[in-house]
Homo-oligomer: A and B are copies of this chain.
């Protein structure tokens, strides 16, 4: 399975600005991206990074991407992803967001195996965190509540839709509360990065949150 992993290089994870500065957000976003790429490979997928600008390391040079091909496309997410989707019947392309820090091989394999012209893993809050497109008539629209829009787009084109019920794929890391989920269920570099950065789990009103000790 060809798997596109979109990754915006400009001001990643801006809604975490209250708990992480700009350099930290970039480093944390890279750690999550590396976890997603590992999970895609573990599930038998062939990842390609789709970025808005060439990845740079801290010194401004070309960033190592651990052998993952990079496609640079500075257009909005929707246009860039649509360019990567199948043009011919019989092709299949998956799109997996780079901030799914809980993604592992098991739920991604479930996604890849879910039947349908389109298979969707909805995100919390109505997003589309991951999907598989197997029909050239489907195109994405990430603006707004994309889960409902994608179901409508598929229905309007007469295409079948499968839905994957996964907490791991539903959890995109956008807000401070999401960081707690990485602590609870993460198994990779993103969790390690948070621990190294001094975060720890705290209890708030019966739910788990995070606090920073340094």
Contacts and interface: CB of A to CB of B under 8 A. Distances in A.
Interface residues of A, number: 31
Interface stretch (A84-92, A93-101, A166-174, A192-200): A166-174
Contact of A166 (B15, B166, B180): B166
Interface string A158-183: 00000001111111001001001100
A122 to B, nearest CB: 7
A145 B106 contact: no
B181 A124 contact: yes
A196 B203 CA distance: 35
Contact of A145 (B165, B177, B208): B208
A152 interface: no
A150 to B, nearest CB: 12
A185 interface: yes
> For the complex formed by this chain, how many copies does it contain in all?
2
A72 interface: no
A41 B208 CA distance: 31
A165 B205 CA distance: 24
A185 B125 contact: no
A76 interface: no
Contact of A170 (B15, B127, B167, B201): B167
Contact of A180 (B125, B144, B168, B177): B125
A148 B203 contact: no
Contact of A184 (B122, B165, B185): B122
Interface of A: 15, 106-107, 122, 124-127, 144-145, 147-148, 165-171, 174, 177, 180-181, 184-185, 201, 203, 205-208
26 contacts: A15-B205, A106-B165, A107-B165, A122-B185, A124-B167, A124-B181, A124-B207, A125-B177, A125-B180, A125-B208, A126-B180, A126-B184, A126-B208, A127-B207, A144-B203, A145-B184, A145-B201, A145-B203, A145-B208, A165-B166, A165-B167, A166-B166, A167-B167, A167-B169, A167-B170, A170-B170
